[in-house]
Amino acid sequence: MAIERTLSIIKPDATRRNLTGKVNAMLEAGGLRIVAQKRLLLTRAQAESFYAVHKERPFFDDLCTFMTSGPVVVQVLEGENAVAKNREIMGATDPSKAAEGTIRKTYAESIESNSAHGSDSLENAAIEIAYFFSATAIVG
Ligand code: CMP
């Protein structure tokens, strides 16, 4: 297995409940290393651009409203098979379908307020990481 990097976002429902440390502990316990991290308030334009792939979906507008409703923590995770590993630690998008012990099963409020985002492929991980971090801001 290769060492990969993936983009993770701790979403506004989780920062509002002060869960950043608890989510980070689950990521670290799962074998991932947080090699870059920052807390920010996304602008509407940033949220729309980040989720542009979903712009025809009925939930797009609400998703962008939610993602700009409070601070997010964007982070680069590194480790063996990091893209798939992070998705395993997060659990399914819909928390009612997520496995026990996952971030979304434990903390998500709904399919929209689902506490965490993770890149869905290595190719998208590179694009999403570059969206938020310069190469010098990532320290492995
Ligand atoms: P995320 O992994 O950030 O990628 C896209 C997001 O859209 C997803 O998590 C959910 O928060 C949201 N999403 C996906 N499907 C739905 C849906 N059916 N209804 C509302 N929000 C959704």
Tens digits of residue pLDDT in 8-51? 999 999 999 999 999 999 999 999 999 999 999 999 999 999 99
Per-residue pLDDT band for 108 (boundaries 50, 70, 90) equals very high
The finding on whether 138 has its CB within 6 A of some atom of ligand 1 is no
Q: Specify the pLDDT at position 1.
A: 74
CA 21–ligand 1 middle distance (angstroms) = 23
How far apart are alpha carbons 84 and 67 in whole angstroms? 23
How far apart are alpha carbons 18 and 41 in whole angstroms? 15
Per-residue pLDDT band for 105 (boundaries 50, 70, 90) equals very high
Rounded to an integer, the average pLDDT of 72-83 is 98
Distance spanning both ends of the chain, measured CA to CA? 18
For residue 15, give the nearest of 62, 68, 63, 52 by alpha carbon. 68
Q: Specify the pLDDT at position 9.
A: 99
Ligand 1 pocket check: which of 6, 59, 72 to mutate, most ligand atoms within 8 Å of Cβ?
59
pTM over the 0.85 mark: yes
Q: Specify the pLDDT at position 76.
A: 98
Phi/psi at 119 (nearest 5 deg)? -55, 145
Ligand 1 pocket check: which of 97, 111, 115, 124 to mutate, most ligand atoms within 8 Å of Cβ?
111
The finding on whether 20 has its CB within 6 A of some atom of ligand 1 is no
Residues annotated as part of the active site: 117
Q: Specify the pLDDT at position 54.
A: 97
The finding on whether 114 has its CB within 6 A of some atom of ligand 1 is yes
